[in-house]
């Protein structure tokens, strides 16, 4: 609940589009994150499924929030950006979408590398999107994002 409030606060003041889709943090640990974006009027396309822009926001939230958590734990001033994103849309997302990233250990290693380097460091991060109410554990989309960190 607290992580959801912080995410929405961050969205409201820093990235208004993120606030607009109302993401919720379902689970957050150092190793795994699950973010939910509800299917509603604001996130729906003309076919009644989730708009691909809203799906991209969910992937961004999942990968970015776990990275921000690990950066905060490092007590270092590190800038975070995504260098690229690749998406594979497998099924129409016709329900609330859950975005999962399970690469906390790899992201923690990347944060450590950023602390020890003056150069920008990068890693490929994977996010899976699922609609459990409709498809169970079968993914509706897969995202690969290049996370780029640099110590300020």
Average pLDDT (97-124) is 97
CATH code linked to domain 2-151: 3.10.129.10
The whole-number pLDDT of residue 32 equals: 97
In which residue are the tokens 């897969």 written?
142
Here the tokens at position 10 are 């961050």
11: pLDDT strictly greater than 80: no
Q: For the chain, give every domain's residue range.
A: 2-151
User: Out of 17-21, 53-57, 107-111, 114-118, which region has the weakest mean confidence (pLDDT)?
Assistant: 17-21
Q: Confidence class of residue 72 from pLDDT cuts 50, 70 and 90?
A: very high
Radius of gyration, CA atoms only, the chain: 15
Residues 6+ apart with CB under 8 A from 85: 56, 59, 60, 143, 144, 145, 146
What are the tens digits of pLDDT across the range 75-87? 999 999 999 999 9
* Cα–Cα distance measured from residue 114 to residue 3, given in angstroms and rounded to the nearest whole number: 24
Mean pLDDT over all residues of the chain?
94
User: Out of 8-17, 19-28, 38-47, 125-134, which region has the weakest mean confidence (pLDDT)?
Assistant: 8-17
Average pLDDT (56-82) is 95
The whole-number pLDDT of residue 102 equals: 98
* Cα–Cα distance measured from residue 100 to residue 30, given in angstroms and rounded to the nearest whole number: 13
The whole-number pLDDT of residue 1 equals: 66
């Amino acid at each position: 609940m607290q992580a959801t409030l912080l995410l929405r606060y961050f969205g409201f003041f820093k990235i208004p589009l993120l606030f607009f889709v109302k993401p919720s943090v379902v689970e957050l640990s150092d190793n795994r994150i699950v973010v939910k974006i509800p299917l509603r009027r604001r996130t729906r396309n003309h076919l009644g499924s989730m708009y691909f822009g809203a799906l991209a926001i969910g992937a961004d939230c999942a990968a970015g929030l776990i990275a921000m958590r690990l950066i905060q734990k490092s007590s270092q001033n590190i800038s975070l950006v995504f260098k690229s994103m690749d998406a594979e849309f497998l099924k129409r997302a016709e329900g609330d979408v859950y975005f999962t990233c399970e690469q906390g250990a790899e992201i923690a290693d990347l944060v450590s590398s950023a602390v020890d380097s003056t150069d920008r460091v990068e890693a490929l991060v994977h996010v899976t999107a699922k609609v459990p109410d409709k498809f169970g554990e079968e993914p509706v989309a897969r995202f690969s994002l290049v996370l780029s960190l640099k110590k300020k």
